Amino acid sequence: MPSFGYLLKMTEIRYKLGRLYDRIFGCPVITGYDRKIAFEKFSRRLIFETALDAGCGEGFYAIYLATKYQESQVDGCSNDE
């Protein structure tokens, strides 16, 4: 298991790399974990009967919503093979 110091250093490096990426490309780096945390925070405020996750890929967010909001209808579609 990584030590706290190691995790703190990796967080600092990730922050610096994110700022560099933002400076070069003009937008922040959003990793899968960051996207998941933001989506979970956003979805706390959702009230809906139906939802469509267009371009869902593996369908992780559609599955998350369908599990969390079992009274709602959640559909996901993607053009992935």
pLDDT tens, residue by residue, 52-67? 988 888 888 888 889 9
What's the CA gap between 50 and 66, in Å, rounded? 10
pLDDT tens, residue by residue, 16-73? 887 787 778 776 666 677 777 777 888 888 888 999 988 888 888 888 889 988 999 9
Find tokens 């809906």 and name the residue.
Answer: 48
What pLDDT sits at residue 28? 66
Taking each helix axis from N to C end, the angle separating 60-68 and 32-43, rounded to the nearest 10 degrees, works out to: 30
Whether the pLDDT of residue 75 is over 90: the answer is: yes
